[in-house]
Amino acid sequence: MSETVRETQPESAGVAAKSYEARAYAAASASSTLAPTTIRRRTPGPKDVQIDVLYCGVCHSDLHQVRDEWHNSMPTTYPCVPGHEIVGRVVAVGSDVRNFREGDVAAVGCLVDSCRTCPACLDHEEQFCAGPATFTYNSSDPHIGGVTYGGYSNSLVVDEAFTLKVPNGLDLAGAAPLLCAGITTYSPLKHWNVREGQKVGVVGLGGLGHMAVKIARALGARVVVFT
């Protein structure tokens, strides 16, 4: 059985006053398994949405980050709480939030903020933010310090601008992977305006590939798989 991970982020009186405790699963090192821990989440601000997490997908990027396999470009800060394919129920909203209310089902992907002023952000490509962008986990947390923590937890707080509304009737467990693998394959299909009657080639029928097949087919394309 894995031992409980102790949070290393210092908790000052100021941080405690503007945050709350949440439960999570974290890796204490590159060689450890995930184990229960407690983390701090910021108290919702005027533009924030607080979400009780219902489902969170497992992406191979989570494994890379937990194992510090990207240490040359994105070194991991421990303890690391992964998870960026998040679906949950809204339990609180800030006073300036307009698109969500308590009880809505919401979703969060790999980004939770950006500078919103650089050319990339203004062109709706926040993933290329020069700020840089704030990732859902393992990024500097501008609100309460330390690093951001992901969706392997029971609760999180996200700016409304980086929160998506999940349609009624959608299978929530199946919706979670759409926040990464889904958008990764949908984005180029949308960019190149794939439509009925066109041909689409998908190289590799893996985690992303099978979603590309489904999405391209739903858009009316004839799909050929190379695998």
Read off the pLDDT of residues 148-195 as tens digits, 9 standing for 90 and up: 999 999 999 999 999 999 999 999 999 999 999 999 999 999 999 999
Q: Which of 49, 24, 48, 65 is nearest to 9 (CA)?
A: 24
Average of pLDDT values for 7-36? 82
Q: CA-to-CA distance for 45 and 203, rounded, in angstroms?
A: 44
Give me the pLDDT at residue 6, please: 58
Q: What is the structure's pLDDT at 21?
A: 97
Tell whether the model's pLDDT for residue 147 goes beyond 60: yes
Q: What is the pTM of this model?
A: 0.89
CB-CB neighbours of 41 under 10 Å: 22
* Region of residue 29 (left: phi > 0; alpha: psi -120 to 50; beta: else): beta
Nearest in space to 110 (alpha carbons), one of 179, 59, 24, 175: 179
Rg (CA), the chain: 18
Q: Are 5 and 35 in contact, with CB atoms under 8 Å apart?
A: yes
- Give kind and range of the element (H or E) at residue 106: strand 105-108
pLDDT at 68: 98
Instruction: Identify the weakest region by mean pLDDT among 5-9, 96-100, 122-126.
Output: 5-9
Is the pLDDT confidence value at 7 over 90?
no
CA-to-CA separations, 95 to 48, 49, 160, 188, in angstroms, rounded: 8, 10, 11, 36
Task: Specify the pLDDT at position 1.
Answer: 42
219 pLDDT band, cuts 50/70/90, is very high
Of 6-15, 63-72, 98-107, the range with the lowest mean pLDDT is 6-15
The amino acid at residue 37 is: T
